[in-house]
Structure 1
Amino acid sequence: MLKDILSSQIKHYIKDKNINNYINLQSNFNVEFLAQGEYNVNFLIYDKYNKYVFRVNTKSQLQIENQIKYEYDALKKLEISKVTPKVYYLDDTKSYINYGILIMEYLKGRPLDYSKDLNKAAKIFSKIHSIDTNNGNYSNFIKEENILSDRIKEAKRLLKIYFDSDIVNTEQKKFFYNFIQWAEKNRYKENYFKDNVWMVINNTEVNSHNFIIGDENSFLIDWEKPVISDPCQDITQFLAPTTTLWKANYILSKEEKEMFFKVYKDYLNEDKQIEERVHIYTPYLYLRALSWCAYAFIEYQDPNKDIKNMDTFKKIKEYLDINFMNNLLKDYI
């Protein structure tokens, strides 16, 4: 498996590349598999005194040539928030290990629990969304100003191989055809965001396991594909059942969502009607989530795919169930 091959390579890489110029790691260090996503494999490198995350990127979800540098640069800009990991080292040459590499801070804690950590999550979002992207150089970030149109464009790209596939049934294809037609018809609602501009850094992958909840401090990790856009991107995704069911099998109540909105706005010290923004964006968030599932479903048929998480594949198939998808959209379409 890829993680086993990488584990062996990392040991030699750290010794040969004099990584101690960037981090404090004794010569008798250890390498241990930590976790993997769809496009990254993470390892713990540690000695008796220090721990770091060694992150290996295998592919870009943003169609970026230098994915690992994009993530590194984003983390550097985000350090001011104090709720994201510090990053220490970047290697985007792919000359030793055939993937992009970065080394970052290891943060001790547990995944977010929706039943008791909503306030902590709201505070994290408010700190990140308070970073003033109008001052300073944030040109390295992808900027999404047409938030509904961007979701339609993204969905069409993701769904191309799905529509062309012989293994997808007609009913599912029809669902996505109709969904895109609805999204196109309601694209005019994008004017709300153009008339009420609010641009912040969004993580775009805010599931419960991308939060580290500590005893004193809590963090949002996995900044693989951040963008500068309306804050409803992250807030909608965080609250949506497509996210809360993904790792935690949880659905937020109306009361829990209202409490989250209140805390978020209290710490943001602004009242920009985040609730209305979330309401407009929600079906387009579903378009993104379900289209990605469709794309990933086809990817998982490829025997040469570098990373395969069977729990993820199981969830993908659950989300593509026609009854599940129709139920998500019953209040919109």
Structure 2
Amino acid sequence: MDKLEYLNRYAKTSKFRNALKIPLEYDLEFKLLAQGEYNVNYLFIHPSSGQKLLLRVNTGSQMHLDNQIDYEYNALKELFSSGRTPQVYYVDGTKKDFPFGVLVMEFLEGKPLNYLTDLKIAAECLSDIHSTKVSSDTTLISPKNLLYAMVDECENMAKVYLDSPLGDTRTKNQIKRLINYCNEKIKFEKDYDGDRHYINTELNSGNFLINGPQKNNYIIDWEKPLLGEPAQDLAHFLAPTTTFWKTDVILEKTKMYKFINDYIDLVKDRFDTSNIIDRFETYMPLTCLRGITWCSMAWIQYNQSEKILQNEFTYKKIESYLKHSFLDEIESNYFL
């Protein structure tokens, strides 16, 4: 039985119907919207209200969590007051009636972000997200040392590639060199004792829904949020390893700093941004390393057929990130 058949059966359970106030006599039609590495999104319409809803099926956890879907659900609940995220209506991470986690949220309209025209709107979205007051009973992970946590994550991902006979020797040596650079860069860093903010940690263009200036614009896909420094999000958003992922765009450094200054102006006095540029520059090489090591790990998984979800576009992009020319460009601009 495929996932959609399982889903249709699950959608007829009284637990699902009662929670969403859907009468049992109505049939639901689920249409595939998008498939990522660990999630599949379906669109359906509530038969009573006519509201468009998104049902998210989670098949795994990048964060190695036992209950990934509940983590995302709780993050979205906490962030709803920002005005930049969808409202959530239902979650089931038990996997008793369905083999995967299920999340239902409102479907939001919008186009993916265009790095050439929408940077000011992105700064508005991020300034509101980062300014949202952290809930007193938050369930989000708050790493003691954010930079060490990033490098540790990179080393764990890289290990999959470095230990595999499938990996290219030159690429392995370059990844080791980049890891050593980042370890040297942060070796005197102390545990972070500043204010914590909600950060997305995965801000590619496809995670924005843009409707235009003075309209409703959103950030979606809260699979890996943390409580951390806004500078980490800014570095991830602007890093070449992010912008190149969906669009082939690599931003000039002058545009990066223009974006950060716009962001600071939009934050106003909602929190202290006095050292955010310095912290951005600390996070940038680590962010590039994170993108590269994730691709190295995913390349091995794809070639060993370990992934439940296979995505041809993603695989081709992963291969382009591991080309010597791309790695050399990243190293010369951000690691030397």
Secondary structure of the residue that 1:104 maps to in structure 2? strand
Unaligned regions of 5+ residues in structure 2, if any? Answer: none
Conserved in 2, the CA contact under 8 Å of 1:204 and 1:225? yes
Conserved in 1, the CA contact under 8 Å of 2:240 and 2:288? no
Deviations 1:215-236 (A, max 9, x none): 5201100011101111111111
Q: 1:81 to 1:265 in 2, by over 3 A?
A: same
User: After superposition, where does 1:218-237 map in structure 2 within 5 Å?
Assistant: 218-237=217-236
d(CA) in 2 for partners of 1:249, 1:269: 32
**In the TM superposition, what is the alpha-carbon distance from 1:33 to its structure 2 partner?**
0.4
Counterpart amino acid of residue 318 in structure 1:
S
Aligned equivalent of 1:137 = 137
Q: 1:258 to 1:173 in 2, by over 3 A?
A: closer
Q: 1:18 to 1:198 in 2, by over 3 A?
A: closer
User: After superposition, where does 1:101-250 map in structure 2 within 5 Å?
Assistant: 101-133=102-134, 136-138=136-138, 140-188=139-187, 190-191=189-190, 194=192, 197-214=194-211, 216-250=215-249
Aligned equivalent of 1:251 = 250
**In the TM superposition, what is the alpha-carbon distance from 1:253 to its structure 2 partner?**
3.0
Deviations 1:1-55 (A, max 9, x none): xxx9222222222222353433365714321001011000110112572210110
Aligned equivalent of 2:81 = 80
Deviations 1:187-209 (A, max 9, x none): 13535x847x2421111111001
User: After superposition, where does 1:232-311 map in structure 2 within 5 Å?
Assistant: 232-270=231-269, 271-311=273-313
Conserved in 2, the CA contact under 8 Å of 1:52 and 1:105? yes
d(CA) in 2 for partners of 1:111, 1:204: 17
d(CA) in 1 for partners of 2:114, 2:305: 35
**In the TM superposition, what is the alpha-carbon distance from 1:257 to its structure 2 partner?**
2.3
Aligned equivalent of 1:328 = 330
Deviations 1:48-97 (A, max 9, x none): 72210110100100011111111111111011111011110011111121
d(CA) in 1 for partners of 2:180, 2:13: 55
d(CA) in 2 for partners of 1:284, 1:256: 20
- Tell me which of 11, 19, 23 is aligned to 1:22: 19
TM, length-normalised to structure 2: 0.91
Conserved in 1, the CA contact under 8 Å of 2:234 and 2:260? no
d(CA) in 2 for partners of 1:11, 1:50: 19
Residues matched between the structures, number:
326
Q: 1:92 to 1:263 in 2, by over 3 A?
A: same
d(CA) in 1 for partners of 2:226, 2:37: 19
Conserved in 2, the CA contact under 8 Å of 1:81 and 1:127? yes
Counterpart amino acid of residue 22 in structure 1:
A
Conserved in 2, the CA contact under 8 Å of 1:94 and 1:100? yes
Q: Does 1:12 align with 2:30?
A: no
Farther-moved stretch of structure 1 (267-276 vs 280-289): 267-276
**In the TM superposition, what is the alpha-carbon distance from 1:287 to its structure 2 partner?**
1.3
d(CA) in 2 for partners of 1:304, 1:160: 16
Conserved in 2, the CA contact under 8 Å of 1:25 and 1:47? yes
Secondary structure of the residue that 2:30 maps to in structure 1? strand
Conserved in 2, the CA contact under 8 Å of 1:293 and 1:316? yes
Secondary structure of the residue that 1:204 maps to in structure 2? coil
Over the aligned positions, Cα root-mean-square deviation in angstroms equals: 1.9
TM, length-normalised to structure 1: 0.92
Conserved in 1, the CA contact under 8 Å of 2:146 and 2:192? no
d(CA) in 1 for partners of 2:305, 2:227: 35
Q: Percent identity at matched positions?
A: 37
Conserved in 1, the CA contact under 8 Å of 2:46 and 2:53? no
**In the TM superposition, what is the alpha-carbon distance from 1:304 to its structure 2 partner?**
4.8
**In the TM superposition, what is the alpha-carbon distance from 1:267 to its structure 2 partner?**
1.9
